[in-house]
Amino acid sequence: MVRGPFAFEPFGHPESRVGLPIRSLWFLDNQRVAATVVTQAAGPPTLPARGEPTTASPFRLDAVLIDAATGKILGTPAWPSNSRFAGIVAANDRGFVTETGVELTLLSPDLAPIKRLTLPPLPPNPYRGERYWNPRPSWSGRRVLLLGQVFWIKGPWLWLDAEGLQVLESWQDIRTGDVTLSDDRLVMDTGGRHFGDPPSRLVMSVPGGKWSPIPSTLHASAPQFVGPDLLYFQSYSTIDFPAQGGVFLMRTDSGEVSRLQPPRRGWGFGRAAASRTGKRFVILIEETKGRHPALDIGGHGVLRALLVFDPPFTTPTCTLEVRGSRIRNPEFPALSPDGRRLAVFSYPDPVLEVYELPPAD
């Protein structure tokens, strides 16, 4: 589907090409799935004087549009990029937004460009040879947070309206861990940087505002908004706080917390995907296979089940076991706007599977 060598994310040395292929997976509407990957352009790489993407740029953002019901390829559009860090960063009812290096583009559902936005330059980063804005979309696809890709150092943050492609807020902040967002709130993990730091917990703020701790999130990590005011996260038990471990759903407006249990012993919770209507979300259930601690082999995740949640979102509406899947280390789960189809991408083998889900009650 996509020709040309993969462009890899640097891992370790700033100039390394060993790592994960940059890609994204989104439902553009109820029927079309868009999977993207970055490739190197043919011929000697050249850049225009001002760094704007042109047909001479050294990278391409390649997309494959797939009919979710039949698997038929509907199109293979591509856009020039002046960075290997490129992809679709948000999709909503108005269209979708691509990031191609220093430029964001809002495209209509029929792929026509509507508006472009050039991002401001980033300050020097001593840990990476290439600087790039790291996108974090809201569960609805209507907002995007762009992070200056710096941990533990104050750096630039941009809060965008993805429907109109305009900057709503910009400020300087310190990123301490994973960041997730709703349409009007940010939540961040405060992972400890040094031995003896206070126990980590989740903090919340409005864009550009002051961070406030969220009660009952001690040792929490991997937060993810799965709907309006609904947070999904994992909390690890420690010797001092053994009862804190588990996987939880929390109402950020009321503080109400419910603990989740995997369908079977030995299965664990993975990433979640939310419908942009806010009426359904799905959590991946995985099992680790091939792990050999004595040989320092970490194993890989195998997709085992899907937990489907409908209102009031306190317990799963249904559990769908998955058999015969080729998915390993599931990545980028995407749920259609109507919640009837779930797409999952596999790493490192590029396998895409789409699951039909039962209608909501």
d(CA 103, CA 86): 10
Count CA atoms within 13 Å of residue 99 on its CB side: 27
* pLDDT score at 4: 52
> By mean pLDDT, which of 100-109, 271-280, 313-322, 323-332 is the weakest?
323-332
Q: Span 166-193, mean pLDDT?
A: 93
From residue 285, how far is each of 131, 272, 319 by CA, in Å? 34, 9, 10
348: left (phi over 0), alpha (psi -120 to 50) or beta: alpha
Longest dimension (CA), the chain: 58
Length, in residues, of the chain: 361
166-174 sheet: strands from edge to edge: 134-137, 143-147, 154-161, 166-174
* pLDDT score at 16: 43
Separation of CA 180 from chain center: 9
183: left (phi over 0), alpha (psi -120 to 50) or beta: alpha
Tokens 């509407």, residue located: 29
Residue 50, amino acid: R
Residue 297 has pLDDT above 60, yes or no: no
| Torsion sign across C-alpha atoms 73, 74, 78, 83 | negative
Confidence of residue 340 (pLDDT cuts 50, 70, 90): very high
Strand, helix or coil for residue 165:
coil
Residue 346 has pLDDT above 50, yes or no: yes
Residue 71, amino acid: G
- Enter the tokens of residue 95: 């269209």
Q: Span 130-134, mean pLDDT?
A: 83
- Enter the tokens of residue 25: 């997976």
* pLDDT score at 298: 59
Q: Span 273-302, mean pLDDT?
A: 80
pLDDT one-digit tens code per residue, 24-49? 999 999 999 999 999 887 766 555 54
> By mean pLDDT, which of 208-212, 224-228, 235-239, 272-276 is the weakest?
235-239
d(CA 16, CA 14): 6
Confidence of residue 23 (pLDDT cuts 50, 70, 90): confident
Q: Span 258-271, mean pLDDT?
A: 93
* pLDDT score at 1: 40
* pLDDT score at 122: 85
d(CA 111, CA 361): 33
d(CA 326, CA 348): 11
d(CA 38, CA 146): 19
Contact 63, 35 (CB under 8 A): yes
